[in-house]
Amino acid sequence: MRISGDKIAKYVFLAIACSAIASLLLIALFILLEGLPFILRYGPWKFLSTSDWRPHEGAFGIAPMIISSLWITAGAMLIGAPLGVAGAVFLSEFVPKSVMCIIKPTIELLAGIPSVVYGFIGVMVLAPLIRTNLGGPGLSLLAAAVILGIMVLPTIISISVDAIGAVPNAFREGALALGATRWQAVRMVVLKAARSGIIASIILAMGRAVGETMAVIMVAGNTIRTPHSALEPVRTLTANIAIEMSAATGMHRQALFATGVVLFVVIMILNSLAMAAMRRKGGR
């Protein structure tokens, strides 16, 4: 019996695809198995809402880190989303195709820069700037938010450019033919038509910002406490895991896995929201 090359290729690729899904499932399972029992034993509410993190005394409250993660993400979005969307609009509507073909790959290349490099720039340039101009230690919530805001630009720009590019030209022509200026056509029609894709890009970027670790460890200062100003040093959920995991044992180790469970859930929620937004058609 002859087995065709097509058949073999099909099963090989099927196996590869399945192993990708399987490894995702295994990771999820592993984290849940390690983390969930701790959460249940310690009490989910106590774990999430108290702010004492003293592992050696058995106190595991991650509220300050949740709050810090959320503030940093919100700050990053406040910086990254307007810049990214504006950049995408500029690239797709106001720049000749030839220029766009150079700039867009360049921006996508930004995504390939290791996050430790962003962190390095944050430590060397941004933190001193903040320290001398605004006060505080420099390594702070603000520094982390700015660095992350820049790091998410490629995600926002490249997905938004695709979304704007997918808007039929007929909408633009229709708007211009009614006496709209280019900017009015973009603002009142094109952005509305591309809205779901743009929202998806921002949510995906939020996922990246929540999950980013290395750059944040380098610039956020890593003090565990609930921040009262953007200039204070903070520690995020991701940084907490990365910093303490190597030395953790027993309950402490399980608590870090439980922190991972919280992160995992947050990111799953964000990604599902992004997918739902992308699937939703414009026209509402």
Report the site for other proteins in 263-282 (rule: CB under 8 A): 282
**Nearer to other proteins by C-beta: 25 or 173?**
173
- The distance of closest approach from Cβ of residue 280 to other proteins in the complex, given in angstroms and rounded to an integer, is 12
Residues 6+ apart with CB under 8 A from 213: 115, 236, 238, 239, 241, 242
Residue 184 contacts other proteins per CB under 8 A: yes
Contact in structure between 255 and 224 (CB atoms under 8 Å): no
Report the site for other proteins in 206-265 (rule: CB under 8 A): none
Angle at 132 between CA 131 and CA 133, to 5 degrees: 100
Contact in structure between 53 and 224 (CB atoms under 8 Å): yes
Binding segment for other proteins (CB under 8 A), chosen from 53-61, 154-162, 180-188, 235-243, is: 180-188
Neighbours of 196 (CB within 10 A): 20
* Candidate residues 170, 228, 246, 279; the one interacting with other proteins per rule CB under 8 A: 170
Contact in structure between 231 and 142 (CB atoms under 8 Å): yes
Contact in structure between 63 and 49 (CB atoms under 8 Å): yes
- The distance of closest approach from Cβ of residue 172 to other proteins in the complex, given in angstroms and rounded to an integer, is 8
Residue 179 contacts other proteins per CB under 8 A: yes
Give me the 189-208 binding string for other proteins, x by CB under 8 A, dash otherwise: x--xx---------------
How many Å apart are CA 32 and CA 18, to the nearest integer?
A: 21
How many Å apart are CA 8 and CA 4, to the nearest integer?
A: 7
Residues 6+ apart with CB under 8 A from 238: 69, 210, 211, 212, 213, 216, 217, 263
**Nearer to other proteins by C-beta: 58 or 174?**
174
* Candidate residues 177, 246, 247, 279; the one interacting with other proteins per rule CB under 8 A: 177
How many Å apart are CA 145 and CA 283, to the nearest integer?
A: 33
Report the site for other proteins in 88-107 (rule: CB under 8 A): 96
Binding segment for other proteins (CB under 8 A), chosen from 45-53, 102-110, 130-138, 173-181, is: 173-181
Residue 171 contacts other proteins per CB under 8 A: yes
For the record, the structure tokens of 31 come out as 């984290």
* Candidate residues 152, 175, 217, 270; the one interacting with other proteins per rule CB under 8 A: 175
* Candidate residues 23, 181, 229, 272; the one interacting with other proteins per rule CB under 8 A: 181
Amino acid identity of residue 174, one-letter, is G
Binding segment for other proteins (CB under 8 A), chosen from 126-134, 156-164, 169-177, 230-238, is: 169-177
Contact in structure between 66 and 195 (CB atoms under 8 Å): no
**Nearer to other proteins by C-beta: 165 or 282?**
282
Site residues, other proteins (CB under 8 A): 96, 168, 170-171, 173-181, 184, 188-189, 192-193, 282-284
